[in-house]
């Protein structure tokens, strides 16, 4: 069985997924595309030599009987409407973050999905598919470090553009930690507080950089997360989980070990694209395989998208107030109960 | 375009490649299979739900017009005949090591291929497709460490079975270094000498373990290669290239970093299968993509298979004599001139 | 010239310093000892075969013309009186932490010392003499990582006894970070806030463990310091300084690298004594050499002792209130202006 | 008790030991010096403000009743005569390498010492006092890696001067491995063979660089030792012991860990002086303490000096012949039986 994808949004990330599904992975193909810029849609079909229908809009694409999955890679504000429509049409959805730009919007998707009676939607939080994070999750689930008590994490970029402002640090950067950290420890967030260290000379005028987030969970885990997007030295993702019996830390991204010029060194990436390249591939392959196997995607759910939206809002508020802000989630529906990780 | 594979040999490695091509990679499919054990062939078709013809033997499979590529995963002594027949039929061949069990057999394949006027054959030396080795090759080609002078390498297995004897250390184990090391430094072998350290108590009666190979190249590079197949602690592949200006070393296989029980540790694999899992996938995907793109496979050639056979024979002789033995290769035909690695 | 020490307090730490000065270092000797337990004093003289007078109390010892330096290793509450008396007698003082148990007490020592017109007192904060911290200080002073923006630090012990309570985490444990961190970045503290994660099951009833301190400096550096004294896995000191242009981190304590039982590992110490053994030796040798060379000790001053006391009080208050508490230091007298580190 | 040293040879290494004993260590002092260059001797006394007699020659110095230990730091060819004379006078001797320039010369010292009926002589092989090597020795003695089977070692210098020729690689460089490796595994050498890789462009005309030594022991251990003295990148000492049950490796020399300019790095030393600075201090302090405690030095003996001389001669011969050369030691006298290392 080949899963047939209709793509809404043929910008950079859309094209990467199209290329991935067409030329790298197994079990999926692109049968339809649309974009608000129809030329972009056409050009994409040509570039990747797709045997795909070009639709004028998402509605038409969703209506195509040959489309099994709607891949949502349009710009964020358009996500909600497309996803709701696709879900109501009973289609599978793979939606890049954010699921919706508001918590209320995410909740509408959650409700639409529950009405369909089965999971249809996966949100594009690819970190869970990174080998390192997956190992970390397993180590915790295996009780190898006892109950988690603290997480020390950092998300560093070499530099960012002028349109990246203080809130962007939450919405585009911290958002990845927001998703992956609660998943790692299988806990829910409770409060967040932000501290602003002295601003680096390398950040432009409107951006507070770096930022330190202190997030507490319902279960009492405290997470220190550094976001530093003009760190200059490279793209670097750190995550260390301190448990009652030991500590587990994400591995460094591997590279050849050099002895040269009085230094023993390995390379640090300068571009985020390489860091999670494999994770993107595994993410989409797993989406395809899960649907083929069980009829449902098994990755980040609409509920995870909702958690991300609520938490993101609280983090932005905490940036503004300087106070400890609550992260108030509605009760998790049984529909979205956590997978229990197999502890072999 | 989908590359259509006919598989000769449905044992363990054959099935892994079938699974890989069917369920993980893009651009290939299995259309025919055969095995001396026809039940194995049938079972394989069922297990992987293949839409494939089951042939009584390799000749019949090769004759199928729908077969573009013959994937040779039968037992070693049968390789030569299948490969020659496939090449003479103008089919592409992916042949697991060894290409043939003798240097003369490899030479017959080389000649058959040259007669066809284009490269058709790739030998399954997957290490070249490992990210670490590929980086190492690039570092050398970029002149980051100057001219290579020495290589220190080790190939360690936790344990081996009773049928693994002293020569097996060359034919099944060192063979991977034999292929990858000359490729790394773009040089040809000249001599080999073997030293046997005290035998470990963990090796069975007929096996000398560990063994130390000293290999010299035409260009004067000296390679110390340790083969130790009852090292107990894990499956571990080490490779360090010492150049005039610096040293480059294969990265450790990445794993979560633990602090526990008074130890700072990472895991070492205990099974070779995991170590080069990605390399196998990249290897076959690259084989498919290269043929689609340029009409020729771009991986290890028949000539590389011939080099492996000649070198392997010399290494076994060196085990027996204790002397420095010559590695005498015929002159490389222009047909097999080395790809020049792009230095950027 | 041999510096003649009189030791006040012959408990464990006193004896270690006596042994150090007598048997490991150069340029000092023990000429007098006293202890509230006179038997302890006598036994110490015998054990180390000292040619030393045993005095009934600190006053008598200070009055001995042969005593150049008073080494204060009595229990904390007795320090202030001994140090003031020694300073007023014009003697050098090496005083183990705390300099005094209150900020006011430290201030009285500061004033007594300033009245003498020269530096006489060094406080036993040995971390500054650790090779790793010294390198870290140099890296920062050399501007190799730009202006420091954040510090991520951790102080972990495998376990503590029943008499170690929540405040002890500040007074006996964090106190070392309090001294070394402001010295590292040459800045003064401004506020502190404490977060208590879920308590580990391994801590006894009266102890909150772990604890997370967020300390801000006048210059805007934010320091996250984890104190975790029942971490089980070992004694582990971590310190990472994030600067505008790069990051510098304390090295791991070195140990043989093992490949065994599917693990690549190094040892983590289980006892703090080994971690800073060399630092203690360097500390006392430097004290002796500085006095010999310049007539003044060049290590942590009375003012550093005062900073530690004020900061420690604020940290305890922050433990109790859960709020961000100010760290209010009096203005630094010119007498205690910082050494400018030579940036070669 | 203070051990009184008479120093024969006030060149660079002599002065370093004088400074060490006078200003860093405990229990020793310099009471006499001599040098063939009397001005050097005088200047040394002034520089270090020694209360020491200046003698016209070693004979006069040895005759001084106040001299307990003769510290031999003259040039190599003069060592034998001084050491024999000192031993015959019943004095302790600390002699820098080489003990004598010939095996026969070493044997004369061995015989003179045995005639005195107690150990008097220690040879300045300081590596045994390096923390890393000491840990490695302990790991082996504790049977943590099982029986040693192989050693992979490297001795690399950034560059050497014009007077350093091919034999110097044995006599000044490999000599340290020659001493420390047999001590590590408590075994004796049997054969050596040398392989010359392609010569680096960075070596001057008369020097073959790098060189690879393959040394076999009586017990069947095979040691690959790389000597590369124009490696450019730094001073780097590597030693990895492969045992039946695991592998133990010397730690890297510790340094601050940097993240900067897309690199994760630590520093490699460029000067050998820093690498074993602590080892030199521990070496001499242990020499002093052992004599104080047991009346005998407990470090490398005259017999170790003899082993070094015989092995060094065989290595030079192997450089010349290209063949496997025997290392023929006389039978070890019971007088020099190995210390049994305490396994706890
Ligand atoms: Mg994503
Ligand atoms: Mg293969
Ligand atoms: Mg102290
Ligand atoms: Mg020495």
Within this chain, do residues C106 and C140 fall inside the same structural domain, yes or no? no
**Beta pairing partners, B151:** B223, B241
Within this chain, do residues A111 and A137 fall inside the same structural domain, yes or no? no
Of B202, B234, B266, the residue at which a domain comes to its end is B266
Chain A residues within 8 Å of chain C (Cβ atoms): 146-147, 149-150, 152, 195-202, 210, 212, 214, 216, 219-222, 224, 226, 228, 231-233, 242, 244-247
What is the per-residue pLDDT for C338? 66
Instruction: Answer positive or negative: Cα dihedral of A141, A146, A151, A152.
Output: negative
Token output for B16: 């892994």
Q: Is residue C228 part of a domain?
A: yes
Q: What is the mean pLDDT of residues C145-173?
A: 97
Which range of residues forms the domain containing residue B68? 3-123
- Angle among Cα C256, C257, C260 to the nearest 5 degrees reads 120
pLDDT at D207 over 50: yes
Buried b (16+ CB within 10 A) or exposed e, B218-237: eebbbbbbbbbbbbbbbbbb
D214: CATH:
3.30.360.10
C340: pLDDT confidence band, cut at 50, 70 and 90? very low
The Cα of C209 is separated from the nearest Cα of chain B by a number of Å equal to 18
Q: What is the mean pLDDT of residues D135-150?
A: 98
Distance A123 CA to ligand 1 centre (A): 8
What is the per-residue pLDDT for A307? 98
CA separation for the pair A71, A83 (Å, rounded) = 9
- Residue matched to tokens 């007594």: C112
pLDDT at C221 over 70: yes
Alpha carbon of D232 to those of B157, C7, D226: distances in Å?
34, 51, 15
Q: Which chain A residue's Cα is nearest to B278?
A: A278
**Beta pairing partners, B70:** B6, B93
- C163-211 residue pLDDT tens: 999 999 999 999 999 999 999 999 999 999 999 999 999 999 889 999 9
The Cα of C163 is separated from the nearest Cα of chain B by a number of Å equal to 24
Alpha carbon of D82 to those of D57, D106, D173: distances in Å?
10, 12, 24
CA separation for the pair A183, C110 (Å, rounded) = 53
Closest Cβ–Cβ partner in D24, D251, D254 for C132: D254
- D30-60 residue pLDDT tens: 999 999 999 999 999 999 999 999 999 999 9
With an 8 Å Cβ cutoff, are D245 and B222 in contact? no
Q: Is D191 in contact with D324 (CB distance < 8 Å)?
A: yes
* ipTM surpasses cut 0.90: yes
CA separation for the pair A316, A223 (Å, rounded) = 17
- C280-311 residue pLDDT tens: 999 999 999 999 999 999 999 999 999 999 99
What is the per-residue pLDDT for D341? 42
Of B266, B290, B321, the residue at which a domain comes to its end is B266
Q: Is residue A316 part of a domain?
A: no
Token output for C128: 């500054």
Chain C residues within 8 Å of chain B (Cβ atoms): 233-234, 236, 252, 259-270
Q: Is residue B30 part of a domain?
A: yes
Q: Is residue B289 part of a domain?
A: no
What is the per-residue pLDDT for C247? 98
Within this chain, do residues C140 and C169 fall inside the same structural domain, yes or no? yes
The H or E element containing residue D35 is: none
Alpha carbon of B283 to those of A16, B113, B328: distances in Å?
22, 21, 29
- Closest-approaching ligand to the CA atom of C305: 3
Chain A residues with CB under 8 Å of D270 CB are 262
Q: What is the mean pLDDT of residues D181-207?
A: 97
- C81-140 residue pLDDT tens: 999 999 999 999 999 999 999 999 999 999 999 999 999 999 999 999 999 999 999 999
With an 8 Å Cβ cutoff, are B260 and C233 in contact? yes
Hey, which chains touch C, using 3+ CB pairs under 8 Å? A, B, D
Distance D186 CA to ligand 4 centre (A): 20
Q: Which chain A residue's Cα is nearest to C145?
A: A233
Share of chain A above pLDDT 90, in %: 96
Instruction: Answer positive or negative: Cα dihedral of C249, C253, C255, C261.
Output: negative
What is the per-residue pLDDT for A343? 36
Q: What is the mean pLDDT of residues C15-26?
A: 97
Q: Which chain A residue's Cα is nearest to D260?
A: A233
The H or E element containing residue C260 is: strand C257-260
Cis peptide before D79 (omega within 30 of 0): no
- A102-119 residue pLDDT tens: 999 999 999 999 999 999
Question: Residues with Cβ < 8 Å from D270, sequence gap 6 or more?
Answer: A262, D158, D234, D235
Q: Is residue A144 part of a domain?
A: yes
Q: What is the mean pLDDT of residues C71-88?
A: 98
Chain A residues within 8 Å of chain B (Cβ atoms): 22-27, 131-132, 135-136, 139, 144-145, 245-261, 266, 285, 289
What is the secondary structure of B236-268 as a DSSP string?
EEEEEEEESS-EEEPPPPP--EEEETTEEEEE-
The counts of H helices and E strands in chain C are 11, 15
pLDDT at B344 over 50: no
Q: Is D125 in contact with D286 (CB distance < 8 Å)?
A: no
Share of chain D above pLDDT 90, in %: 96
pLDDT at D310 over 90: yes
The Cα of A246 is separated from the nearest Cα of chain B by a number of Å equal to 5
Within this chain, do residues C110 and C220 fall inside the same structural domain, yes or no? no
With an 8 Å Cβ cutoff, are D221 and B197 in contact? yes
The Cα of D222 is separated from the nearest Cα of chain B by a number of Å equal to 5
pLDDT at D338 over 70: no
Within this chain, do residues B145 and B183 fall inside the same structural domain, yes or no? yes
Q: What is the mean pLDDT of residues D310-325?
A: 98
Estimate the crossing angle of helix B302-321 against helix B175-185, to 10 degrees: 120
The Cα of A256 is separated from the nearest Cα of chain D by a number of Å equal to 11
CA separation for the pair B31, B54 (Å, rounded) = 9
Mutate to test the interface with A, among D268, D272, D275 (most CBs of A within 10 A): D268
Distance A233 CA to ligand 2 centre (A): 38
Distance B238 CA to ligand 4 centre (A): 33
pLDDT at A196 over 60: yes
Buried b (16+ CB within 10 A) or exposed e, A56-94: eebeebbebeebbbbbbbbeeebbbbbbbbbbebebbbb
Give the CB-side neighbour count of residue D201, counting CA atoms within 13 A: 8
With an 8 Å Cβ cutoff, are B245 and D222 in contact? no
CA separation for the pair C103, C316 (Å, rounded) = 13
Q: Strand pairing of A92-95 and A69-72?
A: parallel
D59: CATH:
3.40.50.720
- D86-109 residue pLDDT tens: 999 999 999 999 999 999 999 999
Token output for C38: 């006179």
Share of chain B above pLDDT 70, in %: 98
Backbone angles phi, psi at B116, to 5 degrees: -75, -15
**In chain A, what is the greatest distance between 2 CA atoms, to the nearest angstrom?**
64
Cis peptide before B118 (omega within 30 of 0): no
Q: Is residue B281 part of a domain?
A: no
Protein residues near ligand 4, an ion, with CB under 5 A: D 124, 126
Q: What is the mean pLDDT of residues C274-284?
A: 96
Chain B residues within 8 Å of chain A (Cβ atoms): 22-27, 131-132, 135-136, 139, 144-145, 245-261, 266, 285, 289
Token output for B318: 């060196």
pLDDT at C341 over 70: no
Give the CB-side neighbour count of residue D110, counting CA atoms within 13 A: 23
Buried b (16+ CB within 10 A) or exposed e, D175-192: bbbbbbbbbbbbbebbbb
With an 8 Å Cβ cutoff, are B254 and A252 in contact? yes
Could you tell me if residue C279 is left (phi over 0), alpha (psi between -120 and 50 degrees) or otherwise beta?
alpha
**Beta pairing partners, A214:** A193, A224
A274: pLDDT confidence band, cut at 50, 70 and 90? very high
Chain A residues within 8 Å of chain D (Cβ atoms): 233-234, 236, 252, 259-270
Mutate to test the interface with A, among B238, B256, B265, B290 (most CBs of A within 10 A): B256
With an 8 Å Cβ cutoff, are A244 and C228 in contact? no
Within this chain, do residues C114 and C168 fall inside the same structural domain, yes or no? no
Q: Is D265 in contact with D276 (CB distance < 8 Å)?
A: no
Spell out the alpha helix ranges (H) of chain D. Answer: 12-23, 38-47, 58-63, 76-88, 103-116, 131-141, 168, 175-185, 272-275, 277-294, 302-321
B84: pLDDT confidence band, cut at 50, 70 and 90? very high
Closest Cβ–Cβ partner in D219, D226, D246 for B198: D219
With an 8 Å Cβ cutoff, are B197 and D146 in contact? no
Distance D125 CA to ligand 4 centre (A): 4
pLDDT at B338 over 80: no
CA separation for the pair D250, D248 (Å, rounded) = 7
B337: pLDDT confidence band, cut at 50, 70 and 90? confident
Within this chain, do residues D112 and D163 fall inside the same structural domain, yes or no? no
Question: Residues with Cβ < 8 Å from B117, sequence gap 6 or more?
Answer: none
| Mean of all residue pLDDT scores within chain B | 96
With an 8 Å Cβ cutoff, are D232 and B214 in contact? no
Q: Is B215 in contact with B222 (CB distance < 8 Å)?
A: yes
Of D213, D123, D232, D125, residue with least CA distance to D166:
D213
Q: Is C328 in contact with C317 (CB distance < 8 Å)?
A: no
Within this chain, do residues D152 and D168 fall inside the same structural domain, yes or no? yes
Distance D262 CA to ligand 4 centre (A): 39
Burial of A40: CB neighbours in 10 Å, binned 0-12, 13-18, 19+: middle
Q: Strand pairing of D325-326 and D189-195?
A: antiparallel
Within this chain, do residues A116 and A152 fall inside the same structural domain, yes or no? no
Of C270, C301, C322, the residue at which a domain comes to its end is C270
The Cα of C211 is separated from the nearest Cα of chain A by a number of Å equal to 10
Name the CA dihedral angle for A267, A270, A275, A277, rounded to a multiple of 10 degrees. Answer: -120
What is the per-residue pLDDT for B341? 41
Mutate to test the interface with B, among A239, A252, A256, A266 (most CBs of B within 10 A): A256
With an 8 Å Cβ cutoff, are D233 and A260 in contact? yes
CA separation for the pair C290, C129 (Å, rounded) = 14
- Closest-approaching ligand to the CA atom of D305: 4
With an 8 Å Cβ cutoff, are C265 and B267 in contact? no
With an 8 Å Cβ cutoff, are B249 and A266 in contact? no
Estimate the crossing angle of helix B79-88 against helix B103-116, to 10 degrees: 10
Domain count, chain D: 2
Within this chain, do residues C115 and C189 fall inside the same structural domain, yes or no? no
Closest Cβ–Cβ partner in D234, D260, D261 for A262: D234
Instruction: Answer positive or negative: Cα dihedral of D217, D221, D222, D226.
Output: negative
Within this chain, do residues A178 and A98 fall inside the same structural domain, yes or no? no
Share of chain A above pLDDT 70, in %: 98
Question: Residues with Cβ < 8 Å from D118, sequence gap 6 or more?
Answer: D295, D296
Chain C residues with CB under 8 Å of B236 CB are 259
| Mean of all residue pLDDT scores within chain D | 96
The Cα of C197 is separated from the nearest Cα of chain A by a number of Å equal to 5
Token output for D281: 């201090």
With an 8 Å Cβ cutoff, are D139 and C256 in contact? yes
Within this chain, do residues C164 and C57 fall inside the same structural domain, yes or no? no
Q: What is the mean pLDDT of residues D62-91?
A: 98
- Angle among Cα A340, A342, A344 to the nearest 5 degrees reads 160
What is the secondary structure of D299-342 as a DSSP string?
SS-HHHHHHHHHHHHHHHHHHHH-S-EE--PPPPPGGGPPPPPP
CA separation for the pair B130, B126 (Å, rounded) = 7
- B174-217 residue pLDDT tens: 999 999 999 999 999 999 999 999 999 999 988 999 999 999 99
Q: Is residue D168 part of a domain?
A: yes
Distance A117 CA to ligand 4 centre (A): 79
pLDDT at C339 over 70: no
| Mean of all residue pLDDT scores within chain A | 96
Mutate to test the interface with B, among C249, C263, C271 (most CBs of B within 10 A): C263
- Closest-approaching ligand to the CA atom of A126: 1
**Residue A131: alpha-carbon gap to chain centroid:** 15
| Mean of all residue pLDDT scores within chain C | 96
Name the CA dihedral angle for A49, A50, A52, A55, rounded to a multiple of 10 degrees. Answer: -70
The Cα of B273 is separated from the nearest Cα of chain D by a number of Å equal to 21
Chain A residues with CB under 8 Å of B255 CB are 135, 251
- A222-245 residue pLDDT tens: 999 999 999 999 999 999 999 999
CA separation for the pair C206, C201 (Å, rounded) = 12
**Beta pairing partners, A92:** A69
What is the per-residue pLDDT for C206? 87
Q: Is residue C316 part of a domain?
A: no
């Amino acid at each position: 069985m080949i899963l047939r994808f209709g793509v809404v949004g043929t910008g950079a990330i859309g094209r990467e997924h199209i290329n991935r599904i067409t030329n790298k992975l197994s079990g999926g193909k692109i049968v339809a595309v649309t974009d608000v810029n129809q030329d972009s849609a056409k050009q994409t079909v040509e570039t990747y030599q797709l045997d795909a229908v070009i639709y004028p809009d998402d509605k038409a694409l969703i209506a195509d009987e040959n489309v099994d999955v709607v891949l949502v890679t349009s710009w964020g504000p358009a996500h909600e409407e497309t996803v709701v429509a696709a879900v109501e049409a009973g289609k599978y959805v793979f939606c890049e973050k954010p699921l919706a730009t508001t918590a209320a919007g995410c909740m509408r998707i959650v409700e639409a999905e529950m009405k369909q009676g089965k999971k249809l939607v996966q949100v594009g939080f690819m970190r869970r598919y990174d080998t390192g994070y997956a190992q970390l999750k397993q180590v915790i689930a295996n009780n190898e470090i006892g109950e988690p008590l603290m997480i020390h994490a950092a998300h560093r970029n070499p530099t960012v553009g002028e349109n990246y402002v203080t809130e962007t640090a939450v919405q585009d950067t911290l958002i990845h930690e927001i998703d992956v950290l609660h998943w790692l420890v299988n806990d829910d967030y409770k409060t967040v507080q932000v501290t602003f260290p002295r601003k680096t000379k390398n950040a432009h005028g409107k951006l507070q950089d770096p930022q330190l987030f202190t997030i507490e969970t319902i279960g009492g885990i405290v997470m220190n997360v550094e976001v530093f997007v003009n760190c200059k030295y490279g793209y670097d993702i750190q995550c260390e989980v301190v448990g009652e019996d030991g500590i587990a830390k994400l591995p460094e991204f591997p590279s050849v070990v050099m002895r040269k010029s009085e230094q023993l060194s390995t390379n640090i990436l300068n571009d985020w694209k390489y860091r999670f390249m494999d994770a993107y591939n595994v993410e989409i392959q797993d989406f395809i395989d899960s649907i083929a196997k069980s009829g449902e995607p098994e990755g980040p759910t609409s509920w995870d998208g909702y958690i991300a939206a609520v938490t993101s809002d609280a983090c932005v508020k905490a940036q503004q107030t300087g106070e400890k802000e609550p992260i108030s989630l509605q009760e998790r529906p049984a529909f979205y109960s956590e997978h229990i990780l197999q502890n072999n």
